[in-house]
Amino acid sequence: MRMLSVRLDDEESAALQAICAQTGMTKTEVVKAGIMTLAKQRVKRKSAYELAEEMGLVGCFDGPEDLAENAGKYARERIFEKHHPR
């Protein structure tokens, strides 16, 4: 087990003491719990692309291969075709 020394300003020290009083936890327990809470929040979350891929949505639509990169171009073409039929 490693030891850590931390400097707290008055506000941080008061907050730590208040948490200890409210929870009955020691300062060490509160600091460890805070570290683990932050560590769990920072675990790499999956991107929207990764989630869509897992759900089978990537590649399930028809259209040009570069639709994502050129969506504006294709939208303009469709609007032009709608207002200027051949």
Q: Is the pLDDT of residue 60 over 80?
A: no
Q: Is the pLDDT of residue 59 over 80?
A: no
How much is the pTM? 0.50
Domains of the chain by range and CATH? 1-43 (1.10.1220.10), 45-86 (no CATH)
Decide which of 56 and 15 is more confident. 15
In whole angstroms, give the CA distance from residue 9 to residue 57.
50
DSSP for the chain, please give it.
---------HHHHHHHHHHHHHH---HHHHHHHHHHHHHHHTSPPPPHHHHHHHTT-TT-S-S-TTTTTTHHHHHHHHHHHHHS--
How many residues comprise the chain?
86
Q: Is the pLDDT of residue 40 over 90?
A: no
